Amino acid sequence: MKRSVFRNRGLPYLLVLPQVVVTLVFFFWPAFGSLRLALYRSSPFGDRLMFTGLDNFTRLLGSGDYLESVLNSFVFASAVTFGGLAASLGLAVLANQKIRGLALYRTALLWPYGIAPAVAGIIWLFIFHPSYGILPFVLSAVASIQFNWLLKGWIAMLMIVTAAVWKQLGYNIAFFLAGLQAIPTSVLEAAQVDGADPVRRFWRVVFPLLSPITFFLFVLNMVFSFFETFGLVHAVTQGGPGHATEILVYKAYNDGFVNQQLGTSAAQSVILMVVVIGLTMLQFRYAEKKVTY
């Protein structure tokens, strides 16, 4: 800890004031608002709120639609996280071979991170377009498969997963590459001298050394797919077909803004809050581990 070197009574308060004001007004006030609103329910005419206690929560947990969106969120998040991490680890290992042009390759793998999830989704929406898209065309020509996301929920899910993985690829690769380059060459050489073949060397030596980064990226990709993919669903599938791609954040928005069920929406926000707290705790367990390394 640094010694505090300046003495001044008022100045430090003035310095933290902007951050404290923004935090109080735009984070704490609405968060408490959500907590409070979750205990109320709009009256049938929507003109006033009635206190209903935990009723919103029990209704949510008993509602098929809500449980379906819980399931959708988990399917989506796991597919994005595991699919994305596997692909980017593979690519990072490839790019980390001692070859020329690493910087160039890294750049060429990195740029999709700049694309907004919604824009990435719109590009993939056309690739998956049932009548004009290239993917259904190729699939129908090669395997005569009807590939229409408007009719099959799992295809719609596959579409948003692909868009999300594509967008996140560069981010994951940047971290894996940084991790791979931090592994001392002496460790790898020792393994090589011991006669371990490249595949064993990877699983026995490299992968365990990468595990803190992998864990960290796991949490980060979960957070990304739970909380930062709203635009993707809103711009591309709008939760459809049916409820097949309705993830938790989208449902919370839709119930609140579109269907005007404030209490239900707020209760969903509170449940999401619990999810973020859980994920943040996980992330900090990683941070603690890293300190003891």
What part of residues 98-117 is at the interface with other proteins (CB under 8 A)? 99, 101, 105-117
User: Out of 81, 133, 244, 245, which residue is the one contacting other proteins (CB under 8 A)?
Assistant: 133
User: Out of 89, 157, 206, 266, which residue is the one contacting other proteins (CB under 8 A)?
Assistant: 266
State the helix-helix crossing angle for 64-78 and 153-182, rounded to 10 degrees: 40
Cα–Cα distance measured from residue 262 to residue 269, given in angstroms and rounded to the nearest whole number: 10
Sign of CA dihedral 235, 238, 244, 247: positive
Structure tokens at 21: 């004001």
Q: Per CB under 8 A, does 280 bind other proteins?
A: yes
CB of 86 to other proteins, least distance (A): 13
CB of 126 to other proteins, least distance (A): 6
DSSP class of 113: G
Cα–Cα distance measured from residue 110 to residue 157, given in angstroms and rounded to the nearest whole number: 24
CB of 180 to other proteins, least distance (A): 13
User: Out of 147, 175, 176, 218, which residue is the one contacting other proteins (CB under 8 A)?
Assistant: 175
CA-based nearest residue to 94, from 163, 180, 153: 180
- Other CB atoms within a 10 A radius of the CB of residue 266 amount to 22
**Binding map of other proteins across residues 63-92, x = CB under 8 A, - = no contact:** ----------------------------x-
By CB under 8 A, the residues from 2 to 31 that bind other proteins are 2-6, 8, 11-13, 15-16, 18-20, 22-31
Binding segment for other proteins (CB under 8 A), chosen from 60-68, 72-80, 203-211, 258-266, is 258-266
Structure tokens at 279: 């994920």
Task: Name the burial class of residue 174, with classes exposed (0-12), middle (13-18) and buried (19+) by CB atoms within 10 angstroms of its CB.
Answer: middle
CB of 67 to other proteins, least distance (A): 19
Binding segment for other proteins (CB under 8 A), chosen from 58-66, 186-194, 200-208, 227-235, is 227-235
Q: Per CB under 8 A, does 150 bind other proteins?
A: no
Return the SS3 of 242. Answer: coil
